[in-house]
Amino acid sequence: MRESDEPGSADDDSRSVSTIAELRDELAKVREEADDRQTLLAQLDSLEARHAATTTNFERLKNRRAVRLALRIADLGSAKLRPLRSLRRTPRQLRRPHRTQPEVANTLRQMRPNSGRVEGPMVSIVVPTRNGAAHLRRLMDGLERRTAYRSFELIVVDNGSTDETAAVLASATSHMVNLLANGSNQTFSESCNQGAAAATGDLILFLNNDTDPINHGWLGAMVDSLVDEDHPDRVAVGAVLVYPQGRNTRAPGQAPLTVQHRGIAFNWVDGGPRPVNLGIGEDADDPELLETRTVAAATAACLMVRRTAFESVGGFTDRYVYGWEDVDLCMKLRHEGGKIVVSGEAVLF
């Protein structure tokens, strides 16, 4: 064996020294990287702590908003709670397709023969409008020819119309029309409050200008629901709103009508309650729709309210622009102990 290959030779010692130096260098690098890692870990911990604090604050704020609305919905909050901005910004216009199918009306009339009252407490019908002459013409026809109950007055709040609205109202023959003409467009809340202030009836019906009665006993049925001695806590009643399904899209055996509204409920969406129409897409000839049901709220497209109850809560909150003012009214009425129902005997397009 050569000398250089023997253990303990000079070459082996130099190699050992070189290896130790390399190990020291590697160790220094590892320590440096470890220090950097500790720094990064410390920074990460700081960021996570800030994120957790931000998330906690966000959840607290979100839950606070949800609780505020939930309190109103559950009628546990103050009657003086202001409407939430998020609701004021949410439009809720009931949009309907053209509604002129004779078969549609006949279906519901057969289900709801006119057996209701024809007179009784005065009903003040308040109709806000703006450039809605065509809608008003159809509504006036429905009030004259498809409304058996005759103890009503008609109050139209015209918000600066430039079409034939005045002429349509002047053509009314069976009832005098109290026209409240505004020089500019007012909100739905303001218009309804204005009409209610001019009302003489004990019952006030807020009615959209584009609604159209189907069965003759609709108005009498709504009156019956509110003057029912067995239910003195009822303060407001809504109606079932329907619209026709297209002939080409209707499935075999499916009803020619579909429900748009039979009351309003609340779903929990994105951490808070959101009002939704009940019955959307249901067959309008379902016999269960004939029942009178208690609901959380009802649309003011057709909503009858006791005058005393309406005035006791200050009417519609006029800070709303267009959207959810009717839900807010129902919440205020319920907060005072009243109940909201929907009459299945009152059906309108």
Q: What is the mean pLDDT of residues 270-276?
A: 85
Give the integer Cα–Cα distance in Å for 313 and 335: 9
Whole-number pLDDT of residue 269: 83
Answer yes or no: are the C-beta atoms of 123 and 223 closer than 8 Å. Answer: yes
User: Which tokens sit at 288?
Assistant: 């269960």
As a whole number of Å, the CA-based R_g of the chain is 34
Per-position DSSP letters for 112-141, written without gaps between them: S-S-S-S--S-EEEEEEESS-HHHHHHHHH
Name the H helices within 286-342.
Answer: 307-312, 325-335
Query: pLDDT per residue over 185-205, tens digit each?
Result: 999 999 999 999 999 999 999
* Confidence band for 284, pLDDT divided at 50, 70 and 90: confident
Mean pLDDT score of the chain: 77
For residues 332 and 309, give the distance between their C-alpha atoms in angstroms, rounded to a whole number.
10
More confident residue, 240 or 74: 240
Residue 122 in this model has a pLDDT that exceeds 70: yes
Query: DSSP letters along 53-70, please?
Result: HHHHHHHHHHHHHHHHHH
In this predicted structure, what is the pLDDT of residue 175? 75
Q: Which residues of 58-76 are buried (b: 16+ CB within 10 A; e: fewer)?
A: eeeeeeeeeeebbebbebe
Q: Which residue has the higher pLDDT, 158 or 283?
A: 158
Pairwise CA distance, residues 329 & 304, whole Å: 12
Report the interhelical angle of 10-73 vs 325-335 (nearest 10°).
Answer: 70
60 pLDDT band, cuts 50/70/90, is very low
Using the predicted structure, report yes or no on whether residue 3 has a pLDDT greater than 60. Answer: no
pLDDT of residue 95: 43
Q: Model confidence at 14, in pLDDT bands (50, 70, 90)?
A: very low
Confidence label for 5 from pLDDT (cuts 50, 70 and 90): very low
Q: In the prediction, which pLDDT does 120 show?
A: 94
Token pair, residue 156, equals 């139209």
Rounded alpha-carbon distances, angstroms, from residue 4 to 16, 18, 19, 97, 138: 14, 17, 18, 102, 116
Alpha-carbon gap, residue 255 to 156, rounded angstroms: 34
Domain ranges of the chain: 3-58, 86-348
DSSP 250: P
CA distance linking residue 215 with residue 345, whole number of Å = 8
The per-residue pLDDT for 125 is: 98
Separation in Å, CA 45 to CA 30, 36, 49, 187: 22, 14, 6, 53
Region 71-76: mean pLDDT is: 43
Q: Assign 328 a pLDDT band (cuts: 50, 70, 90).
A: very high
User: What's the rounded Cα separation, in Å, for the pair 348 and 139?
Assistant: 10
H or E element at residue 111:
helix 102-111
Q: Which residues of 181-212 are buried (b: 16+ CB within 10 A; e: fewer)?
A: ebeeebbbbbbbbbbbeebebbbbbbbbbbbb
Sign of the alpha-carbon dihedral angle for 251, 279, 342, 288 = positive
| Four-way CATH pick for 86-348: 3.30.479.30, 3.90.550.10, 1.10.3720.10, 3.30.470.20 | 3.90.550.10
pLDDT in tens, 145-161: 899 999 999 999 999 99
- Distance in angstroms (rounded) separating the CA atoms of residues 246 and 236: 33
